[in-house]
């Protein structure tokens, strides 16, 4: 197996140019939504709105301004599939369409997926959506085809500020830790890494440097695996089944001629 690969997205240097979105769409031949008749969202400069089957990169624009707009800041973040080490989508997929690659990334095989959409509800980050062109669930593949050819994923290649960095997870973690240290040394005490350690879903192979709470960026503070509920849910249902069985037995049991 090749070394685990991934993205380190440093949100502090993102300028919101959306080159990553365009490069992703171009390389992966993702069509425009609604045949190009996209309307304005009214939410800052964000007209992509969300990650889904047609948008595998999404630049988020968070405006934090005082009411008179005399003070404030922009938070910009290019969001993407996190390629979780413990991936909820992969876990629930009933067709085997979702698999883990030799690069430790998570990819959906479009020719296997039958569009049951279980993975969409299972993803803790709301990353996956149905691509209307294929009728299958799709998301970022971390440019699996480019990686197999030794190329950098399209978004990281196009990013003009190196906000999106691609590399081995080990190298990216070193770079990210140094960057946090540097920012904190410069007075940006709020800088921290989201998903870099293995506490979050075993580690996110696409992790982020943030300067505010995850919720502000639209990221879950405590993402979990869908299977956390499997055992207790099944146990409650089994107990219920036994209870109903006993109740039925009492209700229908053969009572001879007593009440015939």
Instruction: Write each residue from 107 to 146 as x if it is in contact with another protein (CB under 8 A), else as -, in one continuous string.
Output: ----xxxxxxxx-xxxxxxxxxxx----xxx---------
Q: Which stretch binds another protein (CB under 8 A): 77-85, 86-94, 148-156, 182-190?
A: 86-94
Distances (CA, A) of 144 to 99, 110, 203, 237: 12, 13, 19, 41
Binder of another protein out of 96, 160, 185, 202 (CB under 8 A): 96
The set of residues, in sequence order, having a beta carbon less than 8 Å from that of 5 and lying 6+ positions away, is 103, 104, 105, 142, 147, 166, 167, 168, 169, 205
Residues between 40 and 69 with contacts to another protein, criterion CB under 8 A: 50, 52
Residue 124 CB, nearest distance to another protein (Å)?
A: 5
46 vs 118, beta carbon nearer another protein? 118
For residues 20 and 155, the answer to whether their CB atoms sit within 8 Å is yes
β-partners of residue 245 are none
Could you say whether residue 254 binds another protein (CB under 8 A)?
A: yes
64-88 per-residue burial string, b: 16 or more CB within 10 A, e: under 16: eeeeeeeeeeebbbbbbbbbbbbbb
For residues 61 and 48, the answer to whether their CB atoms sit within 8 Å is no
Instruction: Write each residue from 210 to 229 as x if it is in contact with another protein (CB under 8 A), else as -, in one continuous string.
Output: -----x--xxxxxxx-xx-x
Query: Would you tell me which residues interact with another protein (CB under 8 A)?
Result: 50, 52, 88, 91-97, 111-118, 120-130, 135-137, 215, 218-224, 226-227, 229-230, 232-234, 236-237, 239-241, 243-245, 247-249, 251-255, 259-260
């Amino acid at each position: 197996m090749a070394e685990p690969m991934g993205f380190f997205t440093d949100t502090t240097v993102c300028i919101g140019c959306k080159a990553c979105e365009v490069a992703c769409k171009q390389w992966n031949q993702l069509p425009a939504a609604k045949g190009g008749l996209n309307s304005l969202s009214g939410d800052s400069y964000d007209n992509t709105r969300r990650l889904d089957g047609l948008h595998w990169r999404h630049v988020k624009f968070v405006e934090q301004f005082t009411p008179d707009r005399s003070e404030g800041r922009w938070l910009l973040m290019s969001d993407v599939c996190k390629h979780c080490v413990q991936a909820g989508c992969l876990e629930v997929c009933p067709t085997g369409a979702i698999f883990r690659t030799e690069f430790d990334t998570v990819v959906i095989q479009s020719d296997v997926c039958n569009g049951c959409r279980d993975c969409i509800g299972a993803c803790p980050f709301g990353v996956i959506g149905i691509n209307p062109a294929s009728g299958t669930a799709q998301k970022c593949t971390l440019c699996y085809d480019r990686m197999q050819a030794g190329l950098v994923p399209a978004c990281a290649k196009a990013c003009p500020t190196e906000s999106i960095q691609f590399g081995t997870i080990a190298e990216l973690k070193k770079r990210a830790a140094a960057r946090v240290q540097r920012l904190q040394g410069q007075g940006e005490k709020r800088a921290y890494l989201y998903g870099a350690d293995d506490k979050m879903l075993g580690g996110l192979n696409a992790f982020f440097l943030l300067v505010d709470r995850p919720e502000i960026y639209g990221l879950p503070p405590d993402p979990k695996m869908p299977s956390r509920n499997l055992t207790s849910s099944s146990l409650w249902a089994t107990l219920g089944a036994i209870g109903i069985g006993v109740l039925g037995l009492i209700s229908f049991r053969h009572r001879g001629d007593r009440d015939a």
